[in-house]
Amino acid sequence: MAVERKLGPFMTKQGEFYYSKKEEGKSVFVRKEQEYFSNMTHTKRIYYELKSTGERIVKVVQDNNIIAAYARSGNQRQRDQYPKKVFPTSRDLVNSGDIIKRTFALNKISDSKEIFEVDSSTNSTIHIFVKLNWKIGGKLEDAIRYNEIQVNKAEKRLPGIKEILPLDQLHKTKIESLLGKKPTISNEVSSQQQTNNSTY
């Protein structure tokens, strides 16, 4: 059975799972603190297996999450397209205007709760997406004020994005400053080498 998404490992709790194979017609509960994986198939079916043996285990109470809810509904849809992580670079911004569009995502069922930038939103049912305009040109102070408004709006849908997104990120003045320092350092090193060579 092809697995589309594997999450974990997680730890079992007391009375949370029982083995899929019964002994003498009776269900046997899995001991607590056993590592296991949660797997989602292409048909959005959820099943669990122990990390140590790969043995199937069954959850006593069905998961209360978006994937399990989807699986129970029996809806047919296209396979989820998972978002691709990206980060704009100075090369990407060379011909851009003062405002660019950015998209951020959060995996709703991941324990890490990581917020990350993606190239675009997708049809994934386990991700939350937020799009925002981002000012990278003009005066730095104006850009910071503009971006603060955008981030405050995004925070309502993606709590925590304010913590990972500096308001002056990608501003052209910062990029130009960084790019401008490199040749200066290179020239200084080159001049020093020429001086040393002429001494000998």
Say if residue 107 is in the same domain as residue 168. Answer: yes
Average pLDDT, the chain: 79
Per-residue confidence band for 75, with pLDDT thresholds at 50, 70 and 90: very low
pLDDT score for 176: 75
Alpha-carbon gap, residue 115 to 129, rounded angstroms: 10
Does residue 197 lie in a domain region? no
- Is the Cα dihedral 47, 53, 55, 59 positive or negative? negative
Number of domains in the chain: 2
pLDDT score for 4: 83
Weakest-pLDDT range from 6-15, 132-141, 152-161: 6-15
Per-residue confidence band for 92, with pLDDT thresholds at 50, 70 and 90: low
Cis-peptide, bond into residue 9, ω within 30° of zero: yes
> Is pTM, for the whole model, over 0.75?
no
Weakest-pLDDT range from 70-74, 88-92, 184-188: 184-188
Per-residue confidence band for 166, with pLDDT thresholds at 50, 70 and 90: very high
Residue 99 predicted with pLDDT over 50: yes
Residue 191 predicted with pLDDT over 80: no
Domain hosting 55: range is: 3-73
Does residue 200 lie in a domain region? no
Say if residue 109 is in the same domain as residue 157. Answer: yes
pLDDT score for 179: 65
Does residue 78 lie in a domain region? no
Does residue 123 lie in a domain region? yes
Rounded to 10 degrees, what is the CA torsion of 20, 21, 26, 30? -60
Contact yes or no for 52/61 (Cβ under 8 A): no
User: φ, ψ for residue 141 (rounded to 5)?
Assistant: -60, -40
Say if residue 108 is in the same domain as residue 170. Answer: yes
User: φ, ψ for residue 19 (rounded to 5)?
Assistant: -70, 140
How many angstroms separate the Cα of 85 from the Cα of each of 56, 61, 101, 102?
32, 34, 15, 12
Does residue 194 lie in a domain region? no
pLDDT score for 35: 92
